[in-house]
Structure 1
Amino acid sequence: MTHLSDSQIGSDWINIRRDNETGIESVHAHFQGHAYDPHDHDEMLVGVTHQGVQRFSCNRSTHTSTPGRSMLIEPGALHDGFAPEPEGFTYGMLYLPQRWVSDMTDRLGVGDASSLGATFRNTLTDDVQLRDVIQ
């Protein structure tokens, strides 16, 4: 595991790590107010809100995530983020490279991940089992 960065600006902080073998990156962060401008990723994102209220736009909708909710963002999905409450929010996110996802689905006999479709059914979910696997 490679430690990529730790940074803190005011009360905001972010910790990023990367697994050298899989290419999976993990982000654990806390933001108050504005978190990040609209952007997208090449990776598949799966994460969990740990504390506070996280609000973000994704797939032309506004989503509100609270502790224990899982976030699912497909590659190329434009999204942003902010904290609508003063205490901010803390979350953990995994960035799963598309090649790794494709290799795993192939190993499981599902076939190439690209055949599964480009979008998640829901951007937010309260599935406890999924939350536990992500964490």
Structure 2
Amino acid sequence: MPDDFISTEPPQRGVQRLLARFGGHAYDLHRHETYAVGATLLGAQGFRYRGAGRISARGQCMVLHPDEWHDGRSATPDGFLYRMVYLDPDRVLAALGGRGPLPFVGEAVAEDAVLATLIDEFFASFPEPADPLAVDGFLADCAGRLARRAGLAPADRSKPLARMRRVKALIDAEFDRPIASEDIERVSGLDRFETARHFRAFVGTSPHRYLVGRRLAVAHRRIARGEALADVAAETGFSDQSHLTRAFKGRYGLTPGRFRALLAAGGAGFR
């Protein structure tokens, strides 16, 4: 495996992402005041946690509670690559409605496809800063997942449909501008975490992913009509052409340029 590295970012709204690779020793014994929620992408990593040795292999997820001592090392000769998200406990508690206790997940390493998908989606923009709606959506979904694994009572699943329709209408109408969590709170009359939970129940995805999907649907049509990618990016809410390209590939499985070339090869186009 290539040389060791760490790629990280400043904390944003109580959340910090990290991508790292190590071939041998990684960390001495330490502890931090945040949750550490991560996924091993390649190899396997070993660590001591709550008095026992643990191994997280490729495809497995880790959940470490605040203020618990742990270290880190490679458990295979080829090293390991992993993603980690650090979450402030007060933000986790807020995402659960402000009611304690904090969720304690006893199984530090597990096969958890739901959590792995949440982490994978949250890293889609990394190392660029995550959209504030994506941060709040991840917090809501991740806190809910931690609570379920900790055996805590599930959050209220009632569906204020009229409020969620207003949020959806806002995104549909104003997708081409930055939409902040404060905007959806104003429209829904609920806090951002309640809104994210209820919106997912109503629409099937988070407000942020719905927003990106709305932008991509419009970009898809405009790209097919032959418009310049830079113009499409600027006019559909993406920060630049590369941002559009990454999002487009993540949604459709091919780059805008290849999509346009395939349309031309097939003699198809959009008007």
What TM-score does the superposition give when structure 2 sets the normalisation length?
0.42
The code of the aligned residue for 1:26 comes to R
Q: Deviations over 1:14-58 (max 9, x none)?
A: 0011353x1211110000110000100100110000000101110
Does residue 48 of the first structure (1) align with residue 73 of the second (2)?
A: no
Q: More strand by proportion, 1 or 2?
A: 1
Equivalent position amino acid for 1:72 in 2: V
CA distance in 1, matches of 2:30, 2:81: 19
Matches within 5 A, 1:1-135: 11-20=3-12, 22-106=13-97, 111-112=98-99, 114-117=100-103, 119-135=104-120
CA distance, structure 2, for counterparts of residue 121 and residue 83 of structure 1 = 22
Work out whether residues 55 and 75 of structure 2, in 8 Å CA contact, stay in contact via their aligned partners in 1: no
Hey, what's the Cα distance between the residues in 1 that align with 2:81 and 2:28? 17
- 1:42 to 1:116, Cα distance in 2 relative to 1, 3 A: closer
Greater relative contact order, per chain length (Cα 8 Å cut-off, separation 6+): 1
SS at match of 2:55: strand
Q: Distance in 2 between matches of 1:31 and 1:116?
A: 31
Identity %: 32
- Aligned-partner residue type, residue 44 of structure 1: Y
RMSD of aligned alpha carbons: 1.5
- Could you say what secondary structure the match of 2:92 adopts? helix
Distance 1:116 1:56 in 2: 23
Shift, 1:72, TM fit: 0.3
**Cα distance in 1, alignment partners of residues 109 and 75 from structure 2:** 17
Alignment: residue pair count: 119
Unpaired stretches in structure 1, ≥5 consecutive residues: 1-9
Q: Which structure features the higher share of helix residues?
A: 2
The Cα shift of 1:76 comes to 0.5
